[in-house]
Amino acid sequence: MIDTLIISNILLWSALLVLGIIVMALARQIGLLHERLAPMGALAQERGPDVGDAAPRHVLTDLSGQSLDIGGHSPGVRTLLFFLSPTCPVCETLLPTLLRVARDESPGLRLLLASDGDAEEHRRFRAQKGLEDQLYVLSQDLGLAFAVSKLPTAVLIDEEGIVRAKGIVNTREHLESLFLAHELGAGSIQQFIAQKQSSEDSVVHLEVRR
C-alpha cells in the first residue's frame, strides 16, 4: 500500500512538472505571437527630416489669414502636421478620427492641416467638412520640405521644433502610434519593437556566452 502511494505521488508530481513545462512553452509562444501580431504604427518614411532632426522652419499664413510659425520654438505646445488633399478619399474618411485624436491629446497639441493647390477649392472643402475652426495652410514648399509623397502623412513636432514621429497614417491606430512612439522614445512603433527585439537578442547572446 505504501509503495503504491509513493508511486502515485511520484507520477502525480511528474505530471505536474510536465504540465508546468507545457504551460511555460505555451506562454512563450503566445508572447512571440503577440509580438508578430502587434498593431503596427504609421508607416515611417525614410525621406525628409529624420526623427530627432529640427523641423524645417516655415512662417505661413493659413486660410483664415492667421500667421503660423511651423518648426519654431513653441513652449508647451506640440504640433501635429497632417498633410491631406480634398481629392484623397482616405484623408476625407480619416478626418473625424483625426479631430477626435487631436481633442484627446489636447491641451498642448496644435493640429495643423496642410496641403497645396487652389485656395478656393480648399475653402470649399474646409466648409463642407466643418473645418473652419481648424488651422489650414497651403504651401507646396512645406510639403517638399517634409518630402511628402503619399497621403495622408502626419508629422509630430515637439515644443522645441524637433521631429518626434512621422509616417503615412490610414487609421486611428496609426495616428495614436505617433504619440505612443514619442512617449517610448522611438521614431515609430516598428522601430521600438525592433530595438526591443535587438536588446532581447543581445541579452540571450550574452547568456549563451556565459
Residues with Cβ within 8 Å of 188's Cβ and at least 6 positions away in sequence, in order, are 41, 42, 44, 51, 165, 167, 177, 181
Of 145, 142, 136, residue with least CA distance to 53 = 145
Q: CA-CA distance, 177 to 166, in Å (whole number)?
A: 10
User: Is it the case that residue 203 has pLDDT exceeding 80?
Assistant: no
pLDDT band at 54 (very low <50, low <70, confident <90, very high): very high
Note the pLDDT tens digit of each residue in 103-157.
Answer: 999 889 999 999 999 999 999 999 999 999 999 999 999 999 999 999 999 999 9
Beta 109-115 vs 78-83: how paired, if at all? Answer: parallel
Which residues of 48-179 form beta strands (DSSP E)?
58-61, 67-70, 78-83, 109-115, 135-138, 153-157, 163-168
Whether 93 and 160 share a structural domain: yes
Residue ranges making up the domain that contains 7: 1-37
Whether 16 and 116 share a structural domain: no
Note the pLDDT tens digit of each residue in 157-180.
Answer: 999 999 999 999 999 999 999 999
The enclosing domain of 83 has a CATH number of: 3.40.30.10
Beta 163-168 vs 109-115: how paired, if at all? Answer: unpaired
Q: What is the pLDDT of residue 184?
A: 84
Q: What is the pLDDT of residue 106?
A: 86
Give how many domains the chain has, as a whole number. Answer: 2
Q: CA-CA distance, 60 to 66, in Å (whole number)?
A: 8
User: Is it the case that residue 32 has pLDDT exceeding 70?
Assistant: no
Q: In this structure, is residue 142 part of a structural domain? A: yes
User: Is it the case that residue 31 has pLDDT exceeding 50?
Assistant: no
Whether 67 and 131 share a structural domain: yes
Q: CA-CA distance, 178 to 158, in Å (whole number)?
A: 12
Whether 77 and 132 share a structural domain: yes
Q: In this structure, is residue 162 part of a structural domain? A: yes
Q: In this structure, is residue 29 part of a structural domain? A: yes
Whether 2 and 94 share a structural domain: no
Whether 94 and 158 share a structural domain: yes
pLDDT band at 19 (very low <50, low <70, confident <90, very high): confident
Q: In this structure, is residue 49 part of a structural domain? A: no
